[in-house]
A and B are shown apart, each in its own frame.
Chain A
Amino acid sequence: QVQLQESGPGLVKPSETLSLTCAVSGYSLSNAYFWGWIRQPPGKGLEWIGSIYHSGSTYYNPSLKSRVSISVDTSKNQFSLRLSSVTAADTAVYYCARDRVDYYSSGSSGDFDYWGQGTLVTVSS
């Protein structure tokens, strides 16, 4: 059974950097698939932030690309999100998920089949 668990500070000050980690169990990141971050502001819809492959190849949401960095640590079987220069608009529940798309194939539609429980990050001074 694949399980994902987000961890990190629940409160971040404006202009600082948000950092979260997603620990994966029941599946090796080195095997296959991309791994993604998705967020949901309170009362609003889902927004894809970006995804990473075990090789380090990344794809980011263009609207966040200048502030986002996703990295992977296969030795710890986890991947991480950093979002810089945060504002109140970045307050959201942040989810990590397994991303089953093959970005290298035009015929792959993909899906997010396993999700973490989510962690609320509030941006406030």
Chain B
Amino acid sequence: SSELTQDPAVSVALGQTVRITCQGDSLRNYYASWYQQRAGQAPVLVIYGKNIRPSGIPDRFSGSSSGNTASLTITGAQAEDEADYYCNSRDSSGNHRVFGGGTKLTVL
């Protein structure tokens, strides 16, 4: 079982704001990183650290954290944002990495 918990599916209307969450005890000590995976493609890093976007990632993607919960927010969701989103962090021991189960985002 995953040490990071995500909602299996979330939907958002085109142009609206959506928040995808990731819960786990290790998130009290470590930031989560977030990955977008479109169908049939490799994952892409979209947020890391406190709230850092790699080059080329639109500024509608942002990250935040509070207690044992990390969040990925998409402000003004676009059709191309429809994808699976995964969080990742170190586990409670610090010696291993763990992924959340993933959230399937549907843009309506």
B1-19: which residues lie under 8 A (CB-CB) from chain A? 2
A99 / chain B contacts, CB cutoff of 8 Å? 97
B88 within 8 A of A: yes
Number of A positions contacting B (CB below 8 A): 26
Number of B positions contacting A (CB below 8 A): 28
B61 within 8 A of A: no
Checking A46, A59, A100 against B96 with a beta-carbon cut-off of 8 angstroms, the contacting residue is A59
A101 within 8 A of B: yes
Q: Are A46 and B42 in contact (CB under 8 A)?
A: no
B52 to chain A, nearest CB (A): 9
A111–B37 alpha-carbon span in the complex (Å): 15
A84 to chain B, nearest CB (A): 20
A6 to chain B, nearest CB (A): 10
